[in-house]
Each structure stands twice: as structure tokens, then as C-alpha cells.
Amino acid sequence: MNLKELSSLKLSESNLGSSTGSNWFGSGSKIDSYSPTDDKLIGSVLSTTREEYEKVIQEAERAKAIWRDIPAPKRGEIVRQLGNKLRAEKETLGKLVSYEMGKSYQEGLGEVQEMIDICDFAVGLSRQLYGLTMHSERPGHRMYEQYHPLGIVGIITAFNFPVAVWSWNAALALVCGDVIVWKPSEKTPLCAIACQNIIAEILKENNLPEGISSLVIGDAEVGKWIAEDERIPLVSATGSTRMGKQVAATVAARLGRSLLELGGNNAIIVTPSADLKMTVIGAVFGAVGTAGQRCTSTRRLIIHESIYDKVKESLVEAYKQIKIGDPLDSKNHMGPLIDKAAVQMYLDALKKIKEQGGNILLEGKVLEGEGYESGCYVTPVIAEVENHYDIVQQETFAPILYLIKYSGDVNNAIALQNDVKQGLSSAIMTTNLREAELFLSHNGSDCGIANVNIGTSGAEIGGAFGGEKETGGGRESGSDAWKVYMRRQTNTINYTTNLPLAQGIQFNL
Ligand code: NAD
């Protein structure tokens, strides 16, 4: 990234405090953002202090009264402008995502495209926040339901999708009439500032207060302020299951609402009738895309014994072609892990795989030498394991793909795929209609996402996104996920001169 490109996002290369043009506040401790691609300092950000947090929430409280008064389709117009500005900034923001987070430039662009897509979706949605009408059991009565804005929505996000997850929440919450307060990952603050500057400009152009969309920067501590804050009726939290359990408990203790998008342990079942070419491409993209740091990354391949060796050999061959290096260079398939702590987790996992009886087919190592100076580039690993190993039961956020053999019919594979604590994404590769339908049935996959003949990652925004069990149960993005951002009200209207009671209860005075 050069300074000219960064400046279009209103970032300068150092000390990004409260002087970036928009009025988010920061004068607390300094967070240095280094690129995992080349270990260079991109910028330093001052985090939000407790006092500044208070100021942000007060601004949000003021803004919420203004925003909810604006008709939903007019709110949609603001989101339309956001989508357009993102279109104009797609390449620059995509590059920043790639540089600060380390995913390939193509995936960085894809992330911004997802933001544009959800804005388009939300614009349409702004005219479709429908409630039902019901027939009353009482004569001369009418019943219907309406959805009203909740107020302030807190958004806590993870490092691996530093801009898209915010937009999934932001675009829906905004058309629903909520104002938003975002706490991004402390590992990718610059992406967040870029987004804030983009939306702040739109709010300013429309004479709207910036309190409609605020940013607070810091570590878990700032996330805890949001979780504890009774002024925030909904907390949307994306990240590890460990974080989700803490946020859920804190929000539940004040009877708030939480929307949790947590870890996955996603599998592809490969049946005897699978198209092997599609299987290999789907599995490799799913396992090494974003260097295995997607919540939907493919972690387990559950392969029928009759084709096991063939699939294994094809995968090993495919992995040998993977080019690792600077994610901004389009010839590379895989960039670095986010930081050295992530590299250590990867190395620890490799040790555990061996200790627990796994057979590593493609050894993992940290790459050194020219182009790899950051120390965050690792090689993708394939290991033969059994599903019950403790390490296989956990989500390791790295490019490690486990091969698991199954025998007998597809029910055995489904049982293995469901036998983990997480329940985010799943897939089956089959040309057998019965197997596909069983996998999608109530006796099939227990995940929030279940795909046939595509991999586990790369969801479209039109569907509701999220998962079961330790993935947290939340749903974001498309379908009717918007309902969680609103409060439902049932209205009964009596247009007669009588007052009959429900259930036929008699009460005479
Ligand atoms: P993380 O849990 O370390 O951090 C996520 C966010 O939570 C950060 O902003 C962090 O500061 C904040 N946080 C941490 N502890 C907190 C606490 N106790 N209270 C409040 N906030 C707290 O996760 P990460 O390493 O940034 O991201 C990787 C994880 O996110 C993986 O497990 C991945 O599967 C998951 N993820 C899930 C989805 C999904 O949609 N299901 C999407 C992206 C990432």
C-alpha cells in the first residue's frame, strides 16, 4: 500500500488518533498495526478510554432518537449511498484488508463485494420490514404485528473478516432504525477506521449525526464495556467460542439480547459417488483460503474408504502446487497467518496431532528467507487422524486439513461430522440423490449451513449465516436475520362499542 492509496481512505501512516476527519474518539493506549505480510508498521491507533466510550454512547443515544424517526426506506437511501461509496473504494479497501489482515487480494476484494451486496440487500429490505396480520377471535377486532427499532446495537468483530462482518450487522441494523457502536478486532483497527471514515462522510453529506454509526477501539476490555452496558439492547459478537461464552453470560445477566457468531469445525463428507475434481478444488480452497483463518474453513474431510487413497493422493498433489507469499501478489494462493501468536498455535497443533496418534502427510513449517521476513508464513498441512482426537475436536485457526476415513453407509459419515461441539458449516460431495437429501434432512447435518457439491466456505449474503451448538446459534445477513435487530410488537384494535374478553371470559360490572 502506498500513502496515496491510504489517503483515499483518510488514513495517514502514523498515529491515527481522533484527528482523522471523523469524530470517533481515541486518546488511550497505543495499538500498533503491523502487516503480517512484511512486518511493516502500517499505523498506530489510539484506543478509546472509558470516558471516551461514555461520550460515544451518549452521542449514540442522541442519534437514535433522530434515526428511528426517519422512515425505513429513507434510511435505506443512506445505506444505498454507503454501498455506492464502497463500490468507489473497492480496490483500495480490498488492498488494505489484504495488507492489514493478510488474506489474498482477491479475497480482500471479495470481502468488500460482500459489503456492497449486503448494502443492496438492506436497501430492498428497508421496504420489506413486514409483520403479519392475524384474525382476531373477537368480533370487530383486528390484530397485527409491527417491528420497531431496538436502539443501540453493539458490534464486536473478529480479525479474519475485518470489514464484512461489520457491514452484515451495520447495513441491517441501520435500515431497521438502530444506531450502531462497533468494536473491531484490535488486530485490524485500520480497516475499521477506513470503514468509519467512509460512513462518517455519508452521514455528514446527509446532515445526519455521526452518532448513528460509531467506532470504539481497544481490546477485550472495550468489548466487555459493550457487553455490560444496559443501554445496548443487542450485542452482536463474532469471534472465538471462548469470547462468546463470556459475552453471552454478561449480556444474559442483564437480560439483554446477544447474537453470537463463533467458531466452526467444518467438514466435507466425500462419498463414493463424489466428483473428485470438484471435491479437490472445494476442499483445497476451503482449507487454505485465508490461510485456514475463516470461521467456515474446511478442517475435516470425511472420506469413504473405497476412494480414500485416491482422494488423499489428489490432495497431496494439489497442495504441492500452492504458492505461498505476499497476498497482494496475485500469483500466490495463500498469504500469512495474522501474527506470530497464531504461528505458535499452528506449531502447537502440529505437535499435538503427532502426540495424539495422527499421521502427518504434508509436514508443516514456518517459512524463512526472502519474502517471508515477517515470520507469519507457514505451509499448509494434511494429516490423517481420527475424529475423536482432542486436537481434531478443536478449531485450530490455521491451514491444517484432517483426513478421516469412514466405512459403511453415509449415516456413519454424518455421525462423525456431527460429533464435534461446533455446528457452523458442512458439506457433502455426492451425486447420489438419497445421500444428499438425507444429509439435508433432520437426520443429517446439525450445522447452520449444509451444502451439496460445494465446499464449506464462501457463503452468499442472501442466506441467513450462522451455526448451532458452540457456534452460538446467531444468524446474520440475509433471509429474515433482520428480525433480531428489531423489537416485535403485537397490536390488537377493537373498532366496536363492546369489550369482549379473549378466551370468552365473562367479567361484568
Ligand atoms: P477473538 O474471540 O479473540 O476476538 C474477537 C473479538 O472479541 C475481538 O474484537 C476481541 O477484542 C473481542 N473480545 C475478546 N474477548 C472478549 C470478551 N471477553 N468480551 C468482549 N469482547 C471480547 O477472535 P479472533 O481471534 O479475532 O477471531 C477468530 C475467531 O472468530 C474464530 O474462532 C472464528 O471461527 C470466529 N469467527 C466466527 C465467525 C462466524 O460468523 N461464526 C466469523 C468470523 C470469525
Burial track 334-373 (b if 16+ CB lie within 10 A, e otherwise): bbbbbbeebbeebeebbebbeeeebeebbebebbeeeebe
Residues 294-298 have a mean pLDDT of 98
Helix (H, G, I), strand (E, B) or coil at 164: helix
Contact 455, 291 (CB under 8 A): no
509 CA distance to ligand 1 middle (Å): 59
Distance CA 99, CA 431 (A): 40
473 CA distance to ligand 1 middle (Å): 15
Contact 404, 357 (CB under 8 A): no
118 CA distance to ligand 1 middle (Å): 21
Distance CA 92, CA 296 (A): 25
Give backbone dihedrals phi and psi of 366, rounded to 5 degrees, phi first.
-90, 130
472 CA distance to ligand 1 middle (Å): 12
Question: Which atom of ligand 1 is nearest the CA belonging to 239?
Answer: 30
Contact 274, 429 (CB under 8 A): yes
How would you list the strands of the sheet with 141-149, edge to edge? 133-134, 141-149, 486-494
Q: At residue 63, does pLDDT exceed 90?
A: yes
Return the closest-CA partner of residue 439 out of 454, 422, 457, 458.
454
Contact 468, 426 (CB under 8 A): no
Question: Which atom of ligand 1 is nearest the CA belonging to 264?
Answer: 34
Helix (H, G, I), strand (E, B) or coil at 7: helix
Give pLDDT, residue 10.
Answer: 72
**Hey, what's the cell of 138?**
373477537
Amino acid sitting at position 494: N
Distance CA 170, CA 181 (A): 9
- As annotated, the active-site residues are 261
- Mutation probe of ligand 1 site: the residue of 33, 219, 240, 299 with most atoms within 8 A of C-beta: 240
Give pLDDT, residue 9.
Answer: 74
pLDDT digits (tens, 9 = 90+) for 228-257: 999 999 999 999 999 999 999 999 999 999
Q: How far is CA 466 from the centre of its chain?
A: 8
The residues that bridge with 260 in the sheet, in sequence order, are 237
Give pLDDT, residue 25.
Answer: 67
Distance CA 127, CA 131 (A): 12
Question: Which atom of ligand 1 is nearest the CA belonging to 227?
Answer: 20
Rg of the chain (C-alpha set):
24
Give pLDDT, residue 19.
Answer: 39
**Hey, what's the cell of 212?**
448513528
Give pLDDT, residue 152.
Answer: 98
Q: How far is CA 367 from the centre of its chain?
A: 29
Domains (range + CATH), the chain = 23-262+472-489 (3.40.605.10), 266-460 (3.40.309.10)
- Looking up cell 482523522 gives 20
Residues 466-472 have a mean pLDDT of 98
Give pLDDT, residue 26.
Answer: 85
102 CA distance to ligand 1 middle (Å): 17
Question: Which atom of ligand 1 is nearest the CA belonging to 397?
Answer: 31
Give pLDDT, residue 447.
Answer: 98
Give pLDDT, residue 253.
Answer: 98
Q: What is the percentage of the chain residues whose pLDDT exceeds 70?
A: 96
Widest CA span in the chain: 91
Residues 370-399 have a mean pLDDT of 98
Rounded to whole angstroms, what are the CA distances from 328 to 36, 284, 291, 505? 12, 20, 14, 71
Q: How far is CA 214 from the centre of its chain?
A: 19
- Mutation probe of ligand 1 site: the residue of 243, 396, 460 with most atoms within 8 A of C-beta: 243
Rounded to whole angstroms, what are the CA distances from 20 to 23, 78, 195? 8, 22, 12
pLDDT digits (tens, 9 = 90+) for 317-328: 999 999 999 999
Give pLDDT, residue 14.
Answer: 43
pLDDT digits (tens, 9 = 90+) for 97-113: 999 999 999 999 999 99
Closest Cα to atom 43 of ligand 1: 295
| ipTM of the prediction | 0.98
Give pLDDT, residue 103.
Answer: 97
406 CA distance to ligand 1 middle (Å): 33
- Angle subtended by helix axes 189-205 and 164-175, to nearest 10: 30
The model's confidence at residue 16, banded by pLDDT at 50, 70 and 90, is low
pLDDT digits (tens, 9 = 90+) for 175-185: 999 999 999 99
CA atoms within 13 A on the CB side of 220: 7
Give pLDDT, residue 338.
Answer: 98
The residues that bridge with 45 in the sheet, in sequence order, are 16, 31
List residues near ligand 1 (CB under 6 A). 156-161, 165, 183, 185-186, 219-220, 223-224, 227, 238-240, 243, 246-247, 261-264, 295, 395, 397, 424, 471
Question: Which atom of ligand 1 is nearest the CA belonging to 158?
Answer: 26
The model's confidence at residue 79, banded by pLDDT at 50, 70 and 90, is very high
Distance CA 249, CA 262 (A): 14
Helix (H, G, I), strand (E, B) or coil at 145: strand
- Mutation probe of ligand 1 site: the residue of 53, 97, 114, 160 with most atoms within 8 A of C-beta: 160
- Mutation probe of ligand 1 site: the residue of 107, 238, 346 with most atoms within 8 A of C-beta: 238
The model's confidence at residue 15, banded by pLDDT at 50, 70 and 90, is very low
Closest Cα to atom 39 of ligand 1: 261
Q: What is the percentage of the chain residues whose pLDDT exceeds 90?
A: 94
313 CA distance to ligand 1 middle (Å): 35
Question: Which atom of ligand 1 is nearest the CA belonging to 187?
Answer: 26
Distance CA 124, CA 203 (A): 20
Q: At residue 24, does pLDDT exceed 80?
A: no
Distance CA 265, CA 224 (A): 26
Distance CA 430, CA 422 (A): 23
Give pLDDT, residue 272.
Answer: 98
pLDDT digits (tens, 9 = 90+) for 385-439: 999 999 999 999 999 999 999 999 999 999 999 999 999 999 999 999 999 999 9
Return the closest-CA partner of residue 443 out of 472, 422, 415, 465.
415
369 CA distance to ligand 1 middle (Å): 31
What DSSP element (H or E) covers 421?
none
The residues that bridge with 450 in the sheet, in sequence order, are 426
The residues that bridge with 359 in the sheet, in sequence order, are 384
